[in-house]
Amino acid sequence: METFTYYPGCTLRTKAKDLDTYARSSAEALGISLEEPADWQCCGGAYTTAKDEIATKLSAVRTLNSAKTSNRPLITVCSACHNVIKQTNYDILHDEEMASKINNYLQLDEPYNGETTVYHYLEMLRDVVGFDNLAQKVVNSFKGKKIAAYYGCLLLRPSKALAMDDPENPTIMEDFIKAIGGTPVIYAQRNECCGGYITLEDKDQAAKRSSAVMRSAADQGADMIITACPLCLYNLKKNSGSELPVYYFTELLAEALGVKEESNE
């Protein structure tokens, strides 16, 4: 059994428990063991690109370093955590000045210089498990279901740092959908923003963005939308005015693998 360090993040412990529990039970079914570091901190939700911001990057560095000390790759599942951690790692690798300020503050046993490999859960499915292997483990197929993958912004951009997939023509979620037996629906808004945190102070703007996404998917005949991001799920469900069902991709994965019921026990 392969073991990875697993970072859930704050929202998966609270409002997005489904994203987390289905990720864990599915990993187990796939023969992957996810070990959560004892002392992780919230990633902060958004990466600060400013070069003179150091304190706001420390929690992500602590997570990266904790994976490094256990000598394992780091798995994330929330799109926002993934984005913050990946961008932090990228900047530590490419900005010596920032790396030295961070290390000067943290005084780790050994300086952290970007050694950890970070996988999003979807990348783990693609690059570690393999979508072909996943397909063979499916017991409840989504055959006949038209499923629209919603990438949003954070999984793909900035593509230089995220390096998950082609930022304008991604396939990883569509390949996942095919692996669980479904039919992927391609639509124009799949990598455009849902409105994100603007929902806190401008509901109209969040409604405008999220309804554009839902309309675009519905126009292409989608039966449902899947996402990896709790805030996307929230905006698409609560602010869009659309009835199209929205699920975490891990929920479909758990169902396909036949472990959905036991996940909630």
List residues near other proteins by CB under 8 A.
9-11, 14-16, 42, 44-53, 56, 78, 80, 153, 156-159, 167-168, 192-193, 195-202, 205, 209, 229-231, 233-234, 237-238
Cβ-contact 59, 42 below 8 angstroms: yes
| Least separation in angstroms between CB 202 and other proteins | 7
Alpha carbon distance 197, 192 (integer Å): 14
Cβ-contact 142, 252 below 8 angstroms: yes
Listed in sequence order, the residues at least 6 apart from 180 whose beta carbon sits closer than 8 Å to its beta carbon are 134, 135, 138, 141, 142, 252, 253, 256
| Least separation in angstroms between CB 234 and other proteins | 5
In the bound state with other proteins, the residue whose beta carbon lies nearer, of 57 and 72, is 57
Alpha carbon distance 168, 166 (integer Å): 6
Helix crossing, 172-179 with 249-257: angle to 10°? 30
Phi, psi of 151 (to 5 degrees): -80, -35
In the bound state with other proteins, the residue whose beta carbon lies nearer, of 138 and 198, is 198
Listed in sequence order, the residues at least 6 apart from 78 whose beta carbon sits closer than 8 Å to its beta carbon are 8, 9, 11, 12, 16, 19, 228, 229, 230
Cβ-contact 124, 4 below 8 angstroms: yes
Structure tokens at 176: 């996942």
In the bound state with other proteins, the residue whose beta carbon lies nearer, of 32 and 162, is 162
In the bound state with other proteins, the residue whose beta carbon lies nearer, of 80 and 256, is 80
| Least separation in angstroms between CB 133 and other proteins | 31
| Least separation in angstroms between CB 129 and other proteins | 26
Helix crossing, 79-94 with 58-69: angle to 10°? 80
Cβ-contact 85, 60 below 8 angstroms: yes
In the bound state with other proteins, the residue whose beta carbon lies nearer, of 17 and 178, is 17
In the bound state with other proteins, the residue whose beta carbon lies nearer, of 72 and 250, is 250
| Least separation in angstroms between CB 2 and other proteins | 28
| Least separation in angstroms between CB 42 and other proteins | 6
| Least separation in angstroms between CB 20 and other proteins | 12
The single-letter code of the amino acid at 111 is P
In the bound state with other proteins, the residue whose beta carbon lies nearer, of 12 and 74, is 12
